[in-house]
Amino acid sequence: MSVTSLHALGVELPIIQAPMAGVQGSALAIAVSNAGALGSLPCATLSLDALRAELALLRSQARGPINVNFFCHSEPTFDADKEAQWRSLLQPYFIELGINQKEIAAGAGRTPFSHDAADALEEFKPEVVSFHFGLPEPALLERVKTWGALVLSSATTVAEARWLEAHGADAVIAQGIEAGGHRGMFLTHDLNTQLATFALVPQVVRAVQTPVIAAGGIVDDRSVAAAFALGASAVQVGTTYLLCPEATTSAIHRNALRSEDAQLTAITNVFTGRPARGIVNRLMRDLDYMNATVPTFPLATNAIAPLRRRCESLGRGDFSPLWAGQNVSGCRSVGAAELTRQLADGLPKT
Ligand SMILES: Cc1cc2nc3c(=O)[nH]c(=O)nc-3n(C[C@H](O)[C@H](O)[C@H](O)COP(=O)(O)O)c2cc1C
């Protein structure tokens, strides 16, 4: 997936709009695709029906290739003791907001990539399939490759990049610690040894033969140029697209992004059970960002959901995951096509 192979696919600009579950659907991906870059559809929270409906929209409205993105975590095992401890930690909030624990849903909410999802993809044959948290099992990965899709996945360390290359990724997304949303980490749990984009990208470029896509803190033409100067073949940009009208970012999330609060982001596991970066809010602060009581990803989400709903109905984001990267200076309420063109000003001139 070098600049030339992106061109071969029909993508004019080596810019990928990062898949962002919860804040966008096909509309953002279509706008980016029609501006000449690669639009992405986050599929982690979509039902199979919703997945097919979104893919149909993309195929009818996007003029370029498309990227679909899945999580590939292991299915969690429900642990009743852990869940009880988690709910007892949250009990003061349930009382404060008048939540009956019967409102808490069961189930996982986010399902890993599966054969059912692959069946749906086969009907649409997306040109690019990207994964977060490693890669799916070999038989599933092979299915994706049968229609010739390029396979991408995120690496947060040099070791993860080498692993992805050895296990079939066609390109590696080097995700620096600045990045918004979930850390793609899958071989390590150690946040202390995670690298920033400027340190990660050149070391991954040296370590693997596959093309490297830089992600994390890339927000404008200058940071795009910097990523290419460090050896990246493409960039993946998330946070910067969050205020676009085509995104489905909530009003609470948009207000936080526009406020001084957005200067303060941190990595937390309290919303889902896995580390992710968002704007600091009450739940993150109260539970000390990384909390040992949280159930396994994504089961932590269930008990938070009614708190989030109640608070959002009161106009507050105290229990909402306000995912954002460290650099929000590129966030503007302009169309995704215009943002994409501005990012493209930083691409190397050919
Ligand atoms: C709101 C939000 C949601 C995200 N959701 C996903 C996702 O569903 N899948 C994924 O692979 N990456 C996800 N990411 C991470 C991005 O792929 C990417 O690594 C990150 O946005 C790059 O850093 P930046 O936010 O500083 O541009 C998300 C990021 C954000 C900001």
Cβ–ligand 1 contact at 19 (below 6 Å): yes
| The amino acid at 83 | E
| pTM value surpassing 0.95 | yes
What is the predicted pLDDT for the residue at 295? 96
CA pair distance 111, 258, nearest whole angstrom: 32
What are the tens digits of pLDDT across the range 243-294? Answer: 999 999 999 999 999 999 999 999 999 999 999 999 999 999 999 999 999 9
| The amino acid at 128 | V
Residue 144 in tokens? 């994706």
C-alpha of residue 134 to centroid of ligand 1, in Å: 15
What are the tens digits of pLDDT across the range 19-63? Answer: 999 999 999 999 999 999 999 999 999 999 999 999 999 999 999
Q: Which residue has the tokens 């009208």?
A: 245
Cβ–ligand 1 contact at 275 (below 6 Å): no
181-182: strand order across its sheet? 181-182, 276-279, 265-268
Cβ–ligand 1 contact at 175 (below 6 Å): yes
36, 47, 85, 255, 317 from 229: Cα distances, Å: 22, 40, 48, 34, 38
CA pair distance 151, 171, nearest whole angstrom: 7
Contact by Cβ (8 Å): 201, 214: yes
C-alpha of residue 179 to centroid of ligand 1, in Å: 7
- Count of all residues that appear for the chain in the document: 350
Residue 189, φ and ψ in degrees, nearest 5: -110, 0
C-alpha of residue 182 to centroid of ligand 1, in Å: 7
CA pair distance 165, 163, nearest whole angstrom: 5
C-alpha of residue 325 to centroid of ligand 1, in Å: 8
What are the tens digits of pLDDT across the range 74-110? Answer: 989 999 999 999 999 999 999 999 999 998 988 767 8
* pLDDT: which is higher, 349 or 226: 226
CA pair distance 82, 90, nearest whole angstrom: 12
Averaged confidence pLDDT in the chain: 96
C-alpha of residue 175 to centroid of ligand 1, in Å: 9
Q: How confident is the model at residue 125 (pLDDT cuts 50, 70, 90)?
A: very high
Residues 146-166: b if buried by 16+ CB within 10 A, e if exposed? eeebbbbbbbbbbebbbbbbe
Ligand 1 probe mutation, 17, 20, 201, most atoms within 8 A of CB: 20
Closest ligand 1 atom to Cα of 179: 23
Ligand 1 probe mutation, 131, 164, 182, 326, most atoms within 8 A of CB: 182
Per-residue pLDDT at 146 exceeds 60:
yes
Cβ–ligand 1 contact at 239 (below 6 Å): yes
